[in-house]
Structure 1
Amino acid sequence: MLQDPLTIRFYQKLTDALVEMWNRGYRADDLRLYLDGYLAALRHSSAIEPYLIHRMEEEAVRFLYDPFNFELSQPEPESDYY
């Protein structure tokens, strides 16, 4: 579980971008490349500690391979009750 506020912020931006890319038609291989590039940029910039990047990577991979994160929400059917 992520606990560092900055790491959580990076994680949220990453997962929001992954969902947005999925909705635009990118698939798992493309998303994995994006994830790898995002993590490489974090490592290169030294924005957060390496062990936090490793934890974030574990959580992001778990997020990426959970199919429920990429389902489109279906609106509830309206009832015809008056």
Structure 2
Amino acid sequence: MLQDTLTIRYYQKLSDALVDLWNRGYRFDDLRLFVDGYLASLRHTNGLEPYLIHRLEEEIVRYLYDPSNFEKTETELDYR
């Protein structure tokens, strides 16, 4: 579980971007490359402490492998 506020903010941005990319037609391999690039840029810029980047990577990979995060929800139409 992430507890650092900056790490949580990066997690939220990254997970939102993954869902957006999925909805635009990118697939799992593309999303994994995106995650790898995002994490590499955090490492390169020293945006977070290395152990926090590692925790972020663990959490976002868990998010990525959960198919329920990328399912479209069915909405009910109101026919009044």
* TM-score over 0.5 (shorter chain): yes
Number of matched residues? 80
Give the partner amino acid of 1:30: D
Aligned residue number for residue 40 of structure 1: 40
Distance 1:3 1:69 in 2: 21
Distance 2:21 2:29 in 1: 12
* Sequence identity (%): 69
Give the partner amino acid of 2:72: L
Give the partner amino acid of 1:61: V
Structure 1 residue runs of 4 or more that deviate by more than 2 Å after TM superposition: 76-80
Distance 1:77 1:17 in 2: 27
1:49 aligns with 2:49: yes
Q: Once the 2 structures are TM-superposed, how far is the Cα of residue 77 of structure 1 from its aligned partner?
A: 5.5
TM-score normalised over the length of structure 1 = 0.92
Aligned residue number for residue 6 of structure 1: 6
Q: Which runs of 5+ in 2 are unaligned?
A: none
| SS of residue matched to 1:60 | helix
